Structure 1
Amino acid sequence: MEKQKILIVDDSKMNRALLIDILEEQYDVAEAENGAEAISLLSRHRTDYSLLLLDIMMPEMDGFEVLAYINKYHWNDTLAVIMISADDSHANIKLAYDLGAFDYISRPFDSTIVQRRISNTMLLYARQQRLEKIIAEQFHEQENNNRLMISILSHIVEFRNGESGLHILHVNTITKYLLKQLVRLTDQYSLSKADISLISTASGLHDIGKISISDTILNKHGRLTSEEFEVIKTHSMIGANMLLDLPIEQQEAPLVKVASEICRWHHERYDGNGYPDGLKGEEIPIAAQVVALADVYDALTSERCYKKAYSHEEALKMILEGQCGAFNPILLRCLQEIADTLESELMDISSEQETENIQNIRNKIDYDRLFSYEKYTFLSRKQKDLQLLYIDSLTSVYNRRYYDEHFQDADDIQAMVIIDVDNFKYINDNYGRDAGDIVLQRIAQTVLSCVRKTDAVIRYGGDEFVIIFFSIPPDIFEKKLERIRHSVDSLIIDDCPELHMSVSLGGSYGSGTTKKLFKAADNMMYQSKNTKNKVTICFLNEDKGSRYFI
């Protein structure tokens, strides 16, 4: 049986030798002579260790500083920390526990006590982790049950409402994309990943109040009378009241609170002309604002018993022109920026079985994104073997061969960007090639998340990427490059949190051949490399000159 591994961190060689002598028969023991060395070692091989024996008084980084670092990045989620010190004062012991230590052992060492305390810690920590895993599994099971019940209830509404059965999936998907784009554009709403998941799930209940509306009105062909429309409008209040009539302990659940907000206010409008309460602007909870926009977009693009479906372009035009009521301007901007992705994704959802899991749909769309670029669409799902020719195996974006065969002689490209990873040799030399591969993967996926479906992302060389844009306005082009720079600058790798990533970007915008755009973008990239983590853009055939972003 493989031994559990312990890391001893102490600047005293004699103290390390004493502990190794006590522990080496039962455990696999490693050493570090100061805190900085320990952090470096753990950043690369943290999951190898079950326990850290940490001295307090050390040069460079003392034990408390190491413990604070471990606690900040949640490394103690996977390993236990025992402090060792000759100073067993109450203040030291309290601080150690406050910073996340599991136990505290005083010197001089008693071999029996050390062995027993470490053995007990290993056992208790293993039990704690098993318990946390069970709780997490139960939580996810409950979350899945919540989604299942919401799906059942919402499909009952759809069935009575004569809808296609896909409206809830569509609203969920649109809501999720709008929220993700909203977080990229502004920090005004402080939405976490958990918040986005919660709101997207709760969106499925937005029309639950329609259960109370008679079939005669709900499925009427043709225009409703004023009286009938007033009846339809009651569904928002009815839905909210249905949720607020739940037992008090269920009303307090975050999912119910968000769902009741969405039910009541998803027909409010940003200018105050909605219903039922005439809320205006930010008086409307952001969850209800987003679902309102998602609901309107899908209602326009879907066929109903009383109307034909509008095209994607027609629906966008109607919404942006205010024909469907007023919406938050920043949400309208989000809708514009995700429009291409939405059109493709909703078409794919419509072609699948209604019971297909939303996450599977998302995974499929991510795959499609790699293979569908406007007029350069050349791969179908039945031709996935072609990815061996054109997809980079490490980063899953296009490879140099794809660039050479499909863009080398193109003359209708709008803009081009060359991206170089800053200090990549230093990363490989100091963190290892595995870390370097992770950096390239994370940067490639970050770039993909910042561009449109119609933009081609290519790994051009070892640590260089190229992006090719078609039909993009110059102001959007500038913003996308700065967003890429900022997004990469904000990346954190869990196993190496101290590793900072950045990229230098050079962009060229304007009509021209691929070679002309590439040469201009390459020159701009080298200007950015002079100071690193910068964006420099030149505009061809224009008077704007070069632009430089900090």
Structure 2
Amino acid sequence: MKEKSTILIVDDSELNRTVLADILGDEYNFIEAENGARAIELLRTHTDIDLILLDMVMPEMNGFDVLIAMNNNRQIEDIPVVMISAENGIEHIERAYDLGVTDYISRPFDCMVVRRRVVNALILAAKQKRLMRLAAEQIYEKEKISDLMINIFSHIVEFRNGESGPHVLHIRTITEVLLNRLVQKTDRYSLTQEDIQLISSASALHDIGKVSIPDEIINKPGKLTKEEFEIMKSHTTVGADILHDLPFSNEEPLLKTAYEIARWHHERYDGRGYPDGLTGEEIPIAAQVVSVADVYDALTSVRCYKSAYDHETALRMIVNGECGTFNPLLLECLLDASLQIRERLLEANEGYTHSTARTQQLSTEMLLKQATPQVGRSIQALETERIKTEFFAKQSCGIQFDYDTATRTISVTDHTDTLPFTSRLYDAADTEKFTIFSKDDLNRLENALSATTRDAPDVSMPITLRFPEVGWEHEYMLAARALWSSDAKPRYLGAVGQFREPQTDIMLPEMQLPDSGAVTGRQLADSMQSMSRIFDVVRLVDPQRGELLQLNTDGTFSDRVLPCFPMWNHGKRCSRCISRRCMEEKTRMSKLELTDECAYQLISRYLVVDGRECVLELGSRLSDSVWVTSGGRQFRLDASHGEDFYLDPVTGAYGRRYLEDQQPELEKAEALAVIDIDNLKEINDEYGHLAGDAVLRHVANVILSRVNIADTLVRYGGDEFVLLLSHIPPEKFRSILERIRGAVYTTEIPQYENIHPTVSIGGVYQAHPLVEAIRRADKLMYWAKQKRNDVQT
């Protein structure tokens, strides 16, 4: 059965609204508004309106005011509007069309004319949307064939060259990331998304001229002689000649760009490159970007004449001018996007292929140049719907979340029969009526989403859903994806997401414990006795003092006090005690706790027992092994692994896997710092890797000795740490980092008294999401490294 279209009738006369509804009949659903202000309110709360019949002269807001508001919210490009008015002056009609109406009907009107024009407007809108889908599919197929041919040819070149297969993909990936960052920083080069796609595709042909270089030179394992290097340099001009002599027009955009890249990707900004010694902006921007990408990939890849440098060393060499001089703006882009480049290349190495998302951006850009305003908005709507569909396809059915920034409306749809309703729309701008989130949760969510980028759109954080009208609330983990426009300068549009139970959560049975957490000792003693039949561990602790508390049979506290940490085979207080965090935040948390013998699923709940603050711990012993999710894959974790699963074996700090798996929990950190050892490579070269490992342990120990037990240290890369700080006032943040920096240099290393390492530190305070905080701190750290032994915040 065909679904009815919904029509909004806006007219201050109830009689006129009734007449229009009667004329159109039962084929449509109708919503009525008695004035313009009510119409705008309905547009914010109803997402299913297909067409608007709009009167011109009304109280509060007239028809023109409604059209202006719809233009400001870009709704006019989404919803066709037919204006019906007794005002027949040419200036009124002309203004209505200028403001975006689809049609204008003068009163008095013929009933058949109204019906026919409404049908035509709805059909036109549907056909335009279908046209956009077809155009996007055709362009995708065309581009896919072109990409395939380019990749086949470029891989032939790389196969003969002896370089790694992913080299071409690396160059395209890095080029695309740098260009997208470049257009965000400046409009100097007037690059569109079509240009970025074109340059990225053409970059695959940068070394096409190497087909002419003899095998004994191109694959020589040692340093080239002067004569051999001159022959190698000729691949730039040979490649340009090959492309120039193809039987196609030299003005073909792809060939023209490929020619510029092939000939000039070894030019340098100071004129010391080859083959033509171009300087500065004489070098086409496409060639400039590919030259940076080519140098980075050459440094970080194994070649027949060299081993690979790590990511940080490669960046340092490029920024310091060890590989020639580059456009300073591109160096800034390289540092800005360093984390994204590293992540995108990891994806590429796992078989990442060119996605249809970029094709959708290209088709949008091309069609927008020639389409009507209605078409442009329709394409954006299609792109948004594609992202939503892709996101929800990767999630199991649950409680879905949809947020629109233009109207600040939040839609919640329940597919689990958990909530008191199936679907509901909320107005986040109405602070009195918006109660589904707390004000703090809403602010955290909006700040985290607005801090995302089009290339890094995902956010994950705990959110409490609340329905005070029925006395219901529950804490969920919200996994959300920000929606960005496909413009050259992307605009943040909103988000989609899903509320899920926390991954490590175990649902408590009904134990008669009040939600407030306030109980008497007698009540708790009875509940703990019942819980002991279900859980393997049931105990009461004071995590602030590190004490195990015991209740007498009458519910009073026993005078016998023991330490709480031996339970987990720890000789000292736990480094990441969730019970301590529960007490600090007065909440309930869950995690996987590992001992030498087995693994426990642990729940900690804050309680006030007869006025005394404490935490109830409930633990369920898992089987000999348990499946855990890490990096998108599942691992079977034996109990014998213990914390080795997450700990870095050299430093004792957490490894990067911990940062990735515990990201939702770590998002709560107040501050974050990236700490890099300045001279580790020199120490390894001069004293050996045992000395280098001692330096790594020394730096980790110094950091851990100067932060709180609730803080987290992660070894992020070869010589790089990420420090996450909880509950730290902003005025103390920099001083802590300065103390760490000074202590690393002044504290002696046993057996290596002659070694004095230094660190460079970049820190950010209250930056979210975590990936954005790391990116910003990473950039600050690189600026600190220009001075060495420095702190930048």
- Tell me which interval the TM-score lies in, with the shorter structure as reference length: 0.5 to 0.7
Which residue in the other structure is 1:498 paired with? none
CA 129–322 in structure 1, closer or farther in 2 if over 3 Å, else same: same
Query: Residue 508 of structure 1 contacts residue 539 of structure 1 at CA under 8 Å; is this kept in 2?
Result: no
**How far apart, CA to CA, are the structure 1 residues paired with 2:193 and 2:204?**
18
CA 449–115 in structure 1, closer or farther in 2 if over 3 Å, else same: closer
Query: Residue 44 of structure 1 contacts residue 431 of structure 1 at CA under 8 Å; is this kept in 2?
Result: no
Which residue in the other structure is 2:9 paired with? 8
Query: Residue 506 of structure 1 contacts residue 537 of structure 1 at CA under 8 Å; is this kept in 2?
Result: no
Q: What is the 5 A alignment of 1:247-262?
A: 251-253=251-253, 255-262=254-261
1:206 Cα deviation (Å)? Answer: 1.9
Residue type matched to 1:132 in 2? Answer: M
Partner SS for 1:513: coil
Counterpart of 1:459 (choices 458, 461, 484) is 461
Which residue in the other structure is 2:91 paired with? 91
**How far apart, CA to CA, are the structure 2 residues paired with 1:209 and 1:122?**
55
Higher RCO, Cα 8 Å, sep 6+: 1
**How far apart, CA to CA, are the structure 2 residues paired with 1:158 and 1:52?**
58
Partner SS for 1:5: strand
1:114 Cα deviation (Å)? Answer: 0.5
Deviating more after overlay: 27-36 vs 231-240: 231-240
**How far apart, CA to CA, are the structure 2 residues paired with 1:36 and 1:313?**
56
**How far apart, CA to CA, are the structure 2 residues paired with 1:187 and 1:491?**
19
Residue type matched to 2:12 in 1? Answer: D
1:81 Cα deviation (Å)? Answer: 1.9
**How far apart, CA to CA, are the structure 2 residues paired with 1:59 and 1:244?**
67
Query: Residue 12 of structure 2 contacts residue 59 of structure 2 at CA under 8 Å; is this kept in 1?
Result: yes
CA 513–3 in structure 1, closer or farther in 2 if over 3 Å, else same: same
Residue type matched to 2:125 in 1? Answer: Y
1:304 Cα deviation (Å)? Answer: 2.2
Percentage of pairs with the same residue: 48
Which residue in the other structure is 1:319 paired with? 318
Q: What is the 5 A alignment of 1:231-270?
A: 231-245=231-245, 251-253=251-253, 255-270=254-269
Query: Residue 264 of structure 2 contacts residue 287 of structure 2 at CA under 8 Å; is this kept in 1?
Result: yes
1:86 Cα deviation (Å)? Answer: 1.6
Residue type matched to 2:21 in 1? Answer: I
Which residue in the other structure is 1:143 paired with? 143
Residue type matched to 2:448 in 1? Answer: A
Partner SS for 2:7: strand
1:277 matches 2:259: no
Query: Residue 206 of structure 2 contacts residue 261 of structure 2 at CA under 8 Å; is this kept in 1?
Result: yes
**How far apart, CA to CA, are the structure 1 residues paired with 2:224 and 2:337?**
33
CA 132–491 in structure 1, closer or farther in 2 if over 3 Å, else same: closer
Per-residue deviation, residues 145-203 of structure 1 (Å, max 9, x unmatched) = 22222212211221222211110111122223333444455555455555444433332
Counterpart of 1:512 (choices 680, 688, 707) is 707
Which residue in the other structure is 1:67 paired with? 67
Partner SS for 2:126: helix
Partner SS for 1:6: strand
CA 460–25 in structure 1, closer or farther in 2 if over 3 Å, else same: closer
CA 36–200 in structure 1, closer or farther in 2 if over 3 Å, else same: farther
1:20 matches 2:21: yes
Q: What is the 5 A alignment of 1:429-508?
A: 443-447=447-451, 459=461, 462=464, 491-493=492-494
**How far apart, CA to CA, are the structure 1 residues paired with 2:283 and 2:132?**
37
Query: Residue 508 of structure 1 contacts residue 537 of structure 1 at CA under 8 Å; is this kept in 2?
Result: no
1:73 Cα deviation (Å)? Answer: 5.1
Query: Residue 250 of structure 2 contacts residue 256 of structure 2 at CA under 8 Å; is this kept in 1?
Result: no
Deviating more after overlay: 300-309 vs 194-203: 194-203
Q: What is the 5 A alignment of 1:28-43?
A: 28-43=29-44
CA 313–491 in structure 1, closer or farther in 2 if over 3 Å, else same: closer
CA 429–301 in structure 1, closer or farther in 2 if over 3 Å, else same: same
Residue type matched to 2:17 in 1? Answer: R
Which residue in the other structure is 2:306 paired with? 307
**How far apart, CA to CA, are the structure 1 residues paired with 2:341 and 2:455?**
14
CA 393–131 in structure 1, closer or farther in 2 if over 3 Å, else same: closer
Query: Residue 55 of structure 2 contacts residue 63 of structure 2 at CA under 8 Å; is this kept in 1?
Result: yes
Which residue in the other structure is 2:100 paired with? 100
Partner SS for 2:144: helix
Deviating more after overlay: 326-335 vs 103-112: 326-335
Which residue in the other structure is 1:118 paired with? 118
Query: Residue 537 of structure 1 contacts residue 547 of structure 1 at CA under 8 Å; is this kept in 2?
Result: no
Partner SS for 1:223: coil
1:298 Cα deviation (Å)? Answer: 0.6
Which residue in the other structure is 1:357 paired with? 353
Partner SS for 1:493: strand
Query: Residue 428 of structure 2 contacts residue 434 of structure 2 at CA under 8 Å; is this kept in 1?
Result: no
1:104 Cα deviation (Å)? Answer: 1.4
Query: Residue 508 of structure 1 contacts residue 538 of structure 1 at CA under 8 Å; is this kept in 2?
Result: no
Q: What is the 5 A alignment of 1:211-226?
A: 211-226=211-226
Query: Residue 82 of structure 1 contacts residue 105 of structure 1 at CA under 8 Å; is this kept in 2?
Result: yes
RMSD over equivalenced CA pairs, Å: 4.6
1:344 Cα deviation (Å)? Answer: 5.0
**How far apart, CA to CA, are the structure 1 residues paired with 2:4 and 2:401?**
33
- Larger helix percent: 1
- Larger strand percent: 2
Which residue in the other structure is 1:331 paired with? 330
Unaligned runs of 5+ in 2: 359-394, 403-426, 466-474, 476-489, 497-668, 674-702, 712-724, 740-763, 768-793
**How far apart, CA to CA, are the structure 2 residues paired with 1:439 and 1:193?**
32
CA 321–76 in structure 1, closer or farther in 2 if over 3 Å, else same: same
CA 122–461 in structure 1, closer or farther in 2 if over 3 Å, else same: closer
1:245 Cα deviation (Å)? Answer: 4.9
Query: Residue 508 of structure 1 contacts residue 518 of structure 1 at CA under 8 Å; is this kept in 2?
Result: no
Query: Residue 83 of structure 2 contacts residue 103 of structure 2 at CA under 8 Å; is this kept in 1?
Result: yes
CA 281–36 in structure 1, closer or farther in 2 if over 3 Å, else same: farther
**How far apart, CA to CA, are the structure 2 residues paired with 1:461 and 1:177?**
32
Per-residue deviation, residues 110-144 of structure 1 (Å, max 9, x unmatched) = 21110111122222332232223211211222222
CA 118–348 in structure 1, closer or farther in 2 if over 3 Å, else same: closer
Query: Residue 178 of structure 1 contacts residue 335 of structure 1 at CA under 8 Å; is this kept in 2?
Result: yes
Query: Residue 23 of structure 2 contacts residue 115 of structure 2 at CA under 8 Å; is this kept in 1?
Result: yes
**How far apart, CA to CA, are the structure 2 residues paired with 1:93 and 1:149?**
53
Partner SS for 2:84: strand
**How far apart, CA to CA, are the structure 1 residues paired with 2:158 and 2:59?**
67
Unaligned runs of 5+ in 1: 363-387, 396-423, 465-488, 496-504, 525-535
Per-residue deviation, residues 33-87 of structure 1 (Å, max 9, x unmatched) = 33343333323434x1221222233445443343345456553554322222222
**How far apart, CA to CA, are the structure 2 residues paired with 1:93 and 1:230?**
72
CA 102–331 in structure 1, closer or farther in 2 if over 3 Å, else same: same
1:207 Cα deviation (Å)? Answer: 1.9
Counterpart of 1:539 (choices 729, 734, 738) is 734
CA 34–334 in structure 1, closer or farther in 2 if over 3 Å, else same: same
Which residue in the other structure is 2:424 paired with? none
Per the normalisation by structure 1, the TM-score is 0.66
1:430 Cα deviation (Å)? Answer: 6.2
**How far apart, CA to CA, are the structure 2 residues paired with 1:440 and 1:547?**
14
**How far apart, CA to CA, are the structure 2 residues paired with 1:259 and 1:150?**
11
**How far apart, CA to CA, are the structure 1 residues paired with 2:163 and 2:259?**
22
Whichever of the two has the greater Rg, that structure is 2
Residue type matched to 2:326 in 1? Answer: F
Partner SS for 1:251: coil
Per-residue deviation, residues 227-281 of structure 1 (Å, max 9, x unmatched) = 443333333344345445556668344x444433323322121212112332222
CA 461–109 in structure 1, closer or farther in 2 if over 3 Å, else same: same
Q: What is the 5 A alignment of 1:289-308?
A: 289-308=288-307
Per-residue deviation, residues 436-458 of structure 1 (Å, max 9, x unmatched) = 99987665355465999xxx987
